[in-house]
Structure 1
Amino acid sequence: MAEMLLGNVEESVTDEEIGEFLIRYGFPQFSEIQRVPGAGSRPSALVIFNDVTADGLRVLQPRIHNLFWKNRTITALLIPTRDES
């Protein structure tokens, strides 16, 4: 499992639009999206990929980091693997 935080994603953008955007840049289908409200100007979306490793996302992440999409510059940050034991 791997997680990526997409920052500065407009709240009105749907999960389907995020999925289409990611697939366009070579990402696999996500498993889940959790919205993270911002302080008004920079809401985010935590995108969870159950069938991808962190190393797999690390290769893809530069394709979209600092990309201009939907009138905003999107940031893409990998979330370190959590130890759930």
Structure 2
Amino acid sequence: MADMMIGNIEDGTSEEEIQALLSKYGFPVYDAIQHVPGVGSRPAVLLSFNGTEAAALRMLQPRIHNLFWKNRRLNVVVLQERSEE
């Protein structure tokens, strides 16, 4: 299981828009999404990918990191894998 944080998304961006963006750039479908309200104007989403390794997401990360999308420059971080125990 791998998690990825996409920061500085435009407030009100739908889950469908996020999935469409990721699909366009070759990312697998995420299994869970959590909206993280930003302090001020930098909301984010935390995406969980079951069955996907962090290394695979790190290979795809440069495709959207610093991408200018919906009037914002995205900040993408693949989080350290954690145990399910």
CA deviations 1:8-40 (Å, max 9, x no partner) are: 011210001000000000001111110111112
CA deviations 1:27-74 (Å, max 9, x no partner) are: 011111101111121010001111211011010001000000000000
Residue type of the partner of 2:10? E
Structure-2 separation of matches of 1:7 and 1:75 = 5
Q: Which residue of 2 aligns with 1:23?
A: 23
Structure-1 separation of matches of 2:21 and 2:78 = 17
**Post-superposition shift, 1:7?**
0.3
Q: Which residue of 2 aligns with 1:64?
A: 64
Q: Which residue of 2 aligns with 1:32?
A: 32
Helix, strand or coil for the counterpart of 2:74?
A: strand
Structure-1 separation of matches of 2:11 and 2:30 = 18
Residue type of the partner of 2:78? L
Listed as ranges, the gaps of 5+ residues in structure 2 are none
Q: TM-score, normalised by structure 1?
A: 0.94
**Post-superposition shift, 1:84?**
4.0
Q: What RMSD, in angstroms, separates the aligned Cα atoms of the two structures?
A: 0.9
Residue type of the partner of 2:40? G
Identity across aligned pairs (percent)? 52
Q: Paired residues, what number?
A: 85
Moved over 4 A (4+): none
Structure-2 separation of matches of 1:25 and 1:83 = 28
